[in-house]
Amino acid sequence: MKNWLGLSSFCLVTLALAAVAWATRPLPAADRWPGEIAPECVGMDSGRLEQLDRIVREAIEQRQCPGAVVLVTRFGRVVWWRPYGLRTVGEQPEPMSRETVFDLASLTKVMATATSIMVLVDRGQITLGDRVVRFIPEFAQNGKESITVEQLLRHRSGLVADNPLGDYHDGPERALERIWSLKPVYEPGSKFLYSDVGYIVLGEIVRRVSGQPLDEFARVNIFEPLGMHETTFRPDRLIRARTAPTERRDGRWMRGQVHDPRADLLGGVAGHAGLFSTARNVETFARMILGRGQGHGVRVLSPAAIHAMTSPGSTSAGQARGLGWDMDTPFSSPRGDLFPVGGFGHTGFTGTSLWIDPGSQTVVILLTNRVHPEGKGNVTPLRRQIANIVAGSIVSRGEQQTHP
């Protein structure tokens, strides 16, 4: 009892100091962040979490990424939110900051595209069993007539991973026409093959069903309601100034310009890539998912929709995918070795990742621009290490000290 009382007093003091810091930050009310709390307040070992500093700095020293932002929460409380290294290198290096904006790459698939589809499912405008041809009649070519929305979401549609980049050089309209004419590369529904093309199709379904392009629909129905004001396709000038650059294209750094070449040729808005955001906003989105569709005082999705998104459905052993979410596939490096099967997350080519473990109510976010400056970084091992340290730091349930 004495130790418990000591811990409770320590947590109360920590929370009080965090509240003071929050109240005095020079930020708009909607953007204030309550700050970190002691990990012990939510049943985590701060000494073990401190190992994050070492492994991230080692990755930077080994040139696996120029810098990173790591954000960890449990029960919706921030226990770790730190920037490391640089966001730009070269003659005018810039330090990484907690507020750095990143090209999220394929995190677009879950945060924008799959969630937008599920908003439409909630509204009864789409069903998961609907055939794509219901919304895109031109898609009914070369054996694709039976492909469903659910198969696209789970990467089981039979569509190729990527069609040739040359198919996009004549503009977005012609690029989509070439996708409509593609042939499946395997029997739809028979196996898992990660497909950017499938998510480009989903983005077009959102546009045709809602009457709004994907970026506008996601902004109005997901990001703005959640207060995610730093999450956007095609960032404006103010957000670009805080964006971590990726590689050079046409002789200049891509900074606020989507790194994925197909998304770029589609105008910067596509179902598979193009979204930019901060670690703070990604955590806001994750909190909505853990909140069974509710966050920031608003409901974005129904609990039933969240359950459907985060369930594997009919997938082969070792290839479990939710509706958008990765669960148990060769892409599951952000789960590490210690978080159990049952969580879900996603990665992005530029060096981003998100993992949510609902059993422990833990969120792990790693944002890097590992492709800067020469496209040679590799943060896959770092994702695993971070997940293992975070999972290993959970030493008790901690709910008693979590909620006021």
Q: What is the pLDDT of residues 237-279, one digit of tens each?
A: 999 999 999 999 988 999 999 999 999 999 999 999 999 999 9
Mean of per-residue pLDDT scores for the chain: 90
Whether 403 has a pLDDT exceeding 90, the answer reads: no
Evaluate the CA torsion angle 312, 315, 319, 322 in order and state its sign: negative
Q: For 16-31, what is the mean pLDDT?
A: 33
**Six-digit token pair at 323?**
């509706």
Query: For 276-328, where are the alpha helices, taking DSSP H only?
Result: 279-290, 303-309
Which of 311, 309, 310, 287 is CA-nearest to residue 298?
287
**Six-digit token pair at 289?**
């998912």
pLDDT, one tens digit per residue, over 177-219 is 999 999 999 999 999 999 999 999 999 999 999 999 999 999 9
pTM of the model: 0.90
In Å, what is the CA distance from 119 to each residue of 53, 219, 297, 302, 303?
A: 38, 12, 17, 9, 12
Which of 243, 306, 248, 199 is CA-nearest to residue 67?
243
More confident residue, 3 or 209: 209
Q: What pLDDT score does 320 carry?
A: 87
pLDDT, one tens digit per residue, over 94-120 is 999 999 999 999 999 999 999 999 999
Whether 318 has a pLDDT exceeding 70, the answer reads: no
pLDDT, one tens digit per residue, over 33-76 is 457 899 999 999 999 999 999 999 999 999 999 999 999 999 99
Q: What DSSP line would sit under 165-218, residue for residue?
A: GGGGTT-HHHHHHHHHTPPPSS-TTSS----HHHHHHHHHHHHHHHSS-HHHHH
pLDDT interval class at 316 (50, 70, 90): low
Q: What percent of the chain has pLDDT over 70?
A: 89
User: What is the domain partition of the chain in residue ranges?
Assistant: 1-35, 36-401
Question: Any residues with CB less than 8 A from the CB of 117 and at least 6 apart, and which?
Answer: 126, 149, 153, 202, 205, 206, 323, 324
Whether 23 has a pLDDT exceeding 70, the answer reads: no
**Six-digit token pair at 114?**
């799959």
In Å, what is the CA distance from 228 to each residue of 171, 246, 281?
A: 30, 23, 5
Q: How many CA atoms lie within 13 A of 101 on its CB side?
A: 25
What is 36-401's CATH number?
A: 3.40.710.10
Residue type at 397 in one-letter notation: R
Give the chain's end-to-end CA distance (angstroms, integer). Answer: 19
Q: What pLDDT score does 34 carry?
A: 54
CB contact at 8 A, 87 and 66 = yes
